[in-house]
Amino acid sequence: MAVVEKVIPVPPARVFAVLKDGWTYSDWVVGTAHIRDVDDGWPRPGASLHHKAGPWPFSLKDKSTVVSCDEPHELTICAGVWPTGEATVVFRLAPADGGGTRVTLAENFSAGPLGAVWNKANDLVLHHRNHETLRRLADLAVRGRGV
């Protein structure tokens, strides 16, 4: 499992506002190329955002579905990128010193070929990808996007 953390200098509600705006995911989730649709009620459990992942012309259409949501503390998503598999992605937000937010992002392949082959290489790729994802999330939260 790849786990990364970042302190973002805005309150948890402001960070969660970006998580709640499914249309912004292609702006900050590394590897998401395009959001095709967002179900009404996102991020209610069972709601999905429909995306394309990967570079054109090889991008794959799939969806990511909310497993659980405890606003503004935690969001768990089942992210699909079939035929390679799917991942469980957990965002945890907690107040940090100085009024900021400590965001912890944990991701693990949970099904499909990549889920069957757990190894350090998977974790290393996810670790670097998710550091960049949190950097982009911070940019949107600080600049007020999705608020």
Name residues whose C-beta falls within 8 Å of residue 70's C-beta, 6 or more positions apart in sequence: none
3-32 tens-digit pLDDT: 999 999 999 999 999 999 999 999 999 988
Give domain status of residue 24, yes or no.
Answer: yes
- At 66 the pLDDT is 98
Give domain status of residue 147, yes or no.
Answer: no
Domain count within the chain: 1
What CATH number did the domain enclosing 42 receive? 3.30.530.20
Give domain status of residue 43, yes or no.
Answer: yes
> Nearest 10 degrees: CA dihedral of 83, 21, 5, 66?
-50
Q: 124 in the Ramachandran plot: left (φ > 0), alpha (ψ -120 to 50) or beta?
A: alpha
Amino acid at the residue 22:
G
The whole domain housing 32 covers: 2-142
- At 113 the pLDDT is 53
Q: How far, in Å, are 15, 117, 129 from residue 64 at the CA level?
A: 19, 21, 17
62-74 tens-digit pLDDT: 899 999 999 999 9
User: 68 is written with which tokens?
Assistant: 């659980």
Q: One digit per residue, pLDDT tens: the chain, 147 residues?
A: 789 999 999 999 999 999 999 999 999 999 888 999 999 999 999 999 999 887 778 778 889 999 999 999 999 999 886 566 788 999 999 999 888 999 999 988 776 555 545 556 666 677 888 999 999 999 999 997 555
